[in-house]
Amino acid sequence: MLNQKPSVIIWDMGGIMYRFFTELMVEIGGQQGWPLARLPLGPTGPGQDPFYPAMDQGEMSEPEYLKCVTDALKKEGIEFSPHQDMDFSSGERKQTWGVIAHLKTAGFRQALLTNDATAWLGESWWEKWPYVHLFEQVVDVKTVGVRKPAPEPYLACVKALHCEPQECLFIDDMHANCRGAEAVGMDSFWFDICDPEGSMKKLLSYLGVAPV
């Protein structure tokens, strides 16, 4: 529960603003005839994925998880590089972007804190990113030197925003990263990539904001 109504919303990117890369791979694999049921493709895939829960709990990073996925593809004779063979930006979640704009209009300060955007969108991606105007600050951990859920990325955000952790609500699709935010004094909200629309409805209710 929130200790007080937050005035600052700090968003993760992948999985929330854009579909998680395995969601896109399920679509691509379906079109190309991959044996989807035998591949670890996250919670939205049709098969078992023992690696995703490990990533969710902070036992492996996204790059380590991605290697597990591509190794499984190779065992099936499939050569596919998610970073090179897929357009990450094509998977925008319209539900999320509507809520971000709605919260900005409602007077919430907003920032972005991402672990992996540089890997997907390229070096200095924020300089040309079309949504940068919606956020007061954009923090890519590449500029911090350590990944979430370590405390430094969250603290870099509050320093850039000139606010206190207790004023912030952090939104992420990984439970480990939500716990990392709580460890520095923020409240957190877990985004369920299996139910993006429901997650956004719950978020607005959590914040006491009328639906979009």
Closest CA to 16 of 135, 174, 205: 174
pLDDT in tens, the chain (212 residues): 445 789 999 999 999 999 999 999 999 999 999 999 999 999 999 999 999 999 999 999 999 999 999 999 999 999 999 999 999 889 999 999 999 999 999 999 999 999 999 999 999 999 999 999 999 999 999 999 999 999 999 999 999 999 999 999 999 999 999 999 999 999 999 999 999 999 999 999 999 999 98
Specify the pLDDT at position 1. 44
- Beta pairing partners, 138: 112
Q: Which residue type, as a one-letter code, is found at position 20? A: F
> Are 53 and 123 found together in one domain?
no
**The domain containing residue 172 runs over which residues?**
8-18+93-207
Number of domains observed in the structure of the chain: 2
Q: What is the pLDDT of residues 171-199, one digit of tens each?
A: 999 999 999 999 999 999 999 999 999 99
Whole-number pLDDT of residue 3: 53
pTM above 0.85, yes or no: yes
Q: 43 and 107: one domain?
A: no
Q: Are residues 72 and 136 in the same domain?
A: no
Cα distance from N-terminal residue to C-terminal residue, the chain: 22
Question: Do 191 and 119 belong together in one domain?
Answer: yes
Both 102 and 185 in one domain: the answer is yes
Is the C-alpha dihedral spanning 118, 121, 122, 123 positive or negative?
negative
Same domain, 63 and 109: no
Phi then psi for residue 96, to 5 deg, are -65, -45
- Environment class of residue 8 by beta-carbon count within 10 Å: exposed (0-12), middle (13-18) or buried (19+)? buried
